[in-house]
Amino acid sequence: MTPPHRKFEKDAPDWYEEMHERQRKAHSSLRIRVEHGIAHLKNSRALARHLGRREHLDDTVQAIAGLLSQQQTADRILARQT
């Protein structure tokens, strides 16, 4: 999805500036959901390979890996129930 096109480069009327700002914010709010989804996938892939070797990770990453493991288990249980 591409950002909204600017019809006026210079001396745009006030109504156009307001409309363009609304379109830009709407586009941004849609895009951020996709960006967060991609980031979540990348983070889960990076941590998934470390779930079996938690003793080699620092405390923060161990906590994150544990939460991810718990979330994946809960997702599997919900998938089986439906």
Please state the domain extents for the chain. Answer: 16-81
Spatial distance between the Cα atoms of 23 and 33, rounded to a whole number of angstroms: 16
| Integer CA distances (angstroms), 55 to 38, 47, 58, 60, in order | 28, 14, 8, 12
| pLDDT string in tens for the chain (82-residue length) | 565 666 777 787 888 888 888 888 988 888 888 888 878 777 776 666 655 565 666 777 777 777 888 888 888 887 887 6
The confidence score (pLDDT) of residue 71 equals 80
The confidence score (pLDDT) of residue 53 equals 60
CB 48 within 8 A of CB 68: yes
The burial of 65, by beta-carbon neighbours within 10 Å (0-12 exposed, 13-18 middle, 19 or more buried), is given as buried
- Three-state secondary-structure class, residue 47: helix
